[in-house]
Amino acid sequence: MGRGYSARIAANPYIVGSFACIGGGLFGLDISSMSGVLSNGAYKATFGFPGPAAQGAIVAAMPAGSLVGALAVTQLADRLGRKRTIILAGMIWVIGSILQCASVNRGMLVVGRIISGLSVGLSSAIVPIYQSEITAPSIRGRMVSLQQWSITWGILIQYFIQFGCSYINGVASFRIPWGLQMIPAIILSLGMTIFPESPRWLFDKGHEEEALQILADLHGGGDTNNDMVRLEYEEIKQQVYFERTEGAKSYLDLLKGGNPRRVFLGCSLQMWSQLSGMNIMMYYVIYVFQGAGLTGRRGNLIADSIQYVLNVAFTVPAILFIDKWGRRPMLLAGTLLMGFWLYVVGGLQSRFGDWGDVDGSRVWVILNNEAATKAIIVCSYFFVCSFAITMGPVSWTYPAELYSLKIRGKAVALATATNWAFNTALAFAVPPGLSTIAWKTYFIFGTFNFAAFIHVLFMFPETVGRSLEEVEEIFQQGHVFAPWKIGKDVGRKTLGDVIGKSKIDDEKHSEEAA
């Protein structure tokens, strides 16, 4: 990357960070690429009319591949760098999309979805790392939250493409949407070639001058003497030098000091985001509304699309205010609200539903009760809005800012892999669950949300507004066992503090070299 480019475009961290979010959009494209075809006759005929177990396996193929992709980031993030890993993810997605588009049987479709999953796993783990490392603390939450927003846009765009193509007779009704989804990946891979590498990764690899210039371009208008730029540069320098004194990077670093606690926090948050029940509402929303008594393809598709629009719209307030509201309040409010709405849906299904036959399948369904049907649909909408404005964006932001540079790539990759592990399990489990225990499924996920509330209340410290190095200070000082007591001054550093410590470290390194 040359400085001419930096002066023109890379001076705006919003452009740099938001472009990388196309990687998150790939996840969204995949979600609705399946939810939009579950009632498609041509899709059913081509792939042998898959039952609940078979359909669960087809859907789960993508998150299974994503699990492998996320784990691969534990190596690729530090070896290839953040930027080149994102480029690789886009290239792999194109291959997966081609196979899905051309698939003629379940085996070929599953292979295509696994390959696409590898891409989604790579991008979902590496993009938040990249965003967190190129943005200033004051906007970091907003920028990383764009990852979730891009997911919602991917869901919405693909769903409306599916909606339009559903009026085409034959296999083109699902092949066209599956083929078109490779376009964003091509844009991502080509576009990322002109964007900067993470300055923290560059510093760690010995490219200190280039790292300083990128920091200046992003946060100081190109001025390497800008106070904020110098503060961030010195903090990175101290952290890198400190970590080098501890030896080479390894997986054992995840088990040293206070790192196990932080790794657990990141992994558990991604776990709770999946156990919140959002999978039901995204992958299998057609089954949910079918069970509520909403009949007819057109009515079901329109109801589904409203949900996806709300998902996009209600992520916007979170993006705008996540750095003001804080991570803890958003998580606490979101888990309570989601648990409440799921309990209401389960209660309505239990009270007014019964086993019946819909399109030749035995399902728990509400019949001839328009009020109950509308109530379930509205509560489902409220649930999606609650997730979009709280858990959705925070689940990507929080893990990306918990860790030191030495373990960030591996730890964030493990957290994201946890997301995909539970995503895979739920993709398998939800269709059989809805077809066997029916309304009790909603109570199970509602209980998960209330458990998540208790966990967040007692274990998750606030990280809003702090640099990545200041977050490190919070954990080093041992303030994480009563997270509600952590003051805003804990971990805060001034330019004078950092430069003073930097001089001491420089003298120490000079003495060691001598």
pLDDT(397) > 60: yes
> What pLDDT, on a 0 to 100 scale, did the predictor assign at position 84?
94
The stretch 456-482 carries a mean pLDDT of 77
Helix ranges restricted to H, 47-136: 52-79, 82-102, 106-134
What is the domain-level CATH number for residue 452? 1.20.1250.20
Q: Please report the pLDDT score of residue 299 as a whole number.
A: 61
Residue 185 has pLDDT above 90, yes or no: yes
Q: Among 219-223, 335-339, 358-362, which range has the highest average pLDDT?
A: 335-339
Q: What is the length of the chain? A: 514
pLDDT at 184: 92
pLDDT at residue 486 in the model = 65
Out of 213, 246, 279, pick the residue that ends a domain.
246
Is 355 strand, coil or helix? strand
283 and 179, same structural domain?
no
Could you tell me which residues come within 8 angstroms of residue 162 by beta carbon, excluding any fewer than 6 positions away? 32, 33, 36, 37, 174, 177
Cα within 13 Å of Cα(106), Cβ side? 16
Handedness of CA 416, 417, 422, 427 (dihedral sign): positive
Query: What are the residues whose beta carbons fall under 8 Å from the beta carbon of 117, sequence distance 6 or more?
Result: 30, 61, 62, 63, 64, 65, 66, 67, 68, 69, 96, 420
Closest CA to 121 of 76, 45, 61, 67: 67
Structure tokens at 388: 């979009």
The residues facing 354 across adjacent strands are 365
* Nearest Cα residue to 340 out of 385, 306, 395, 303: 385
Check whether 11 has a pLDDT greater than 60. Answer: no
Q: Which residue has the higher pLDDT, 91 or 230?
A: 91
Query: How far is the C-alpha of 251 from the C-alpha of 245, rounded, in Å?
Result: 17
Distance CA 321, CA 392 (A): 14
pLDDT band at 427 (very low <50, low <70, confident <90, very high): confident
Query: And the tokens for 407?
Result: 């373990």
What's the confidence (pLDDT) of residue 135?
A: 80
* Across 177-183, average pLDDT: 92
Q: What number is the average pLDDT over the span 246-255? A: 74
Q: What is the 3-state secondary structure (H, E, C) of 80-97?
A: CCHHHHHHHHHHHHHHHH
Mean pLDDT of 178-185: 92
Angle (nearest 5°) at CA 376 between 374 and 377: 65
* pLDDT value at 243 more than 80: no
For 498, the enclosing helix (H) or strand (E) is helix 495-513
d(CA 246, CA 267): 25
Residue 39: predicted pLDDT = 76
Does residue 508 surpass a pLDDT of 80?
no
- State the pLDDT at residue 7: 47
What is the predicted pLDDT for the residue at 224?
84
**Joined tokens for residue 16:** 């740099």
Domain assignment present for residue 252? The answer is no
Whether the pLDDT of residue 514 is over 60: the answer is no
| The one-letter amino acid at 379 | C
**Residue 155 shares a structural domain with residue 185:** yes
The C-alpha atoms of residue 77 and residue 132 are separated, in whole angstroms, by 14
- Decide: 107 and 54 in contact? Cβ < 8 Å: no
pLDDT digits 0-9 by tens, 136-159: 777 788 888 888 889 889 888 988
Mean pLDDT of 53-65: 87
Do both 64 and 178 map to the same domain? yes
Residues 155 and 221 in one domain: no
Q: CB of 384 within 8 A of CB of 41?
A: no
Q: Are residues 327 and 187 in the same domain?
A: no
Q: Looking at the 3D structure of the chain, how many domains does it have?
A: 3
- 127 and 67 in a common domain: yes
Of the listed ranges 176-190, 224-238, 288-302, 382-396, the least confidently predicted one is 288-302
- Indicate whether 253 belongs to any domain: no
CB 277 within 8 A of CB 386: no
Q: What is the mean pLDDT of residues 219-231?
A: 83
DSSP state of 357: E
Q: Cα-atom radius of gyration of the chain, to the nearest Å?
A: 23
Q: Are residues 332 and 273 part of one domain?
A: yes
Based on the fold, state whether residues 191 and 222 are members of the same structural domain. Answer: no
Helices 137-165 and 22-35 sit at what angle, rounded to 10 degrees?
Answer: 30
Question: 356 pairs with which residues across the strands?
Answer: 363
Query: Is residue 346 scored above 70 in pLDDT?
Result: yes
Parent domain of 222: 204-246
Same domain? 308 vs 208: no
Nearest partner of 287 among 30, 28, 26, 34, judged by Cα = 34
On whether the pTM is more than 0.85, the answer is: no
Enumerate residues 6+ apart whose C-beta is below 8 A from 141. 322, 323, 327, 393, 397, 464
CA–CA gap between residue 118 and residue 97 (Å, rounded): 12
269-307 confidence digits (pLDDT tens): 999 999 998 877 777 777 788 788 876 665 666 777 888
**Residue 227 forms part of a structural domain:** yes
Q: Give 16-47 pLDDT, tens digit per residue.
A: 878 888 887 887 887 777 777 877 889 989 99
**Residue 175: pLDDT band with limits 50, 70, 90:** very high
365 and 502 together in one domain: yes
Query: Quick one: average pLDDT of 311-326?
Result: 91
Instruction: Based on the fold, state whether residues 323 and 343 are members of the same structural domain.
Output: yes
How does residue 457 score in pLDDT terms, banded at 50, 70 and 90? very high
- Residue 463: pLDDT band (50, 70, 90) is confident
> Worst-scoring range by mean pLDDT, 27-41, 100-114, 174-188?
27-41
Which pLDDT belongs to residue 247? Answer: 59
In angstroms, what CA-CA distances link 186 with 15, 183, 228, 423, 467? 18, 5, 35, 26, 33
Q: Is the pLDDT of residue 172 over 90?
A: yes
Virtual torsion, Cα 486, 322, 151, 192, nearest 10 deg: -90
Quick one: pLDDT at residue 353?
A: 82
What DSSP string runs through 132-146?
HHHS-HHHHHHHHHH
First to last CA, the chain: 35
Question: Does 132 fall in a domain?
Answer: yes
Q: Of the candidates 348, 344, 342, 341, which has an alpha carbon nearest to the alpha carbon of residue 365?
A: 348
pLDDT of res. 108: 95
* Separation between Cα atoms, residue 256 and residue 235, nearest integer Å: 21
Residue 74 CB neighbour total at 10 angstroms: 21
| Mean pLDDT along residues 447-475 | 87
**Identity of residue 254:** L
198 vs 510: which has the higher pLDDT: 198
* Gap between the Cα atoms of 387 and 380, Å rounded: 11
The answer to whether residues 444 and 379 belong to one domain is yes
pLDDT at 2: 44
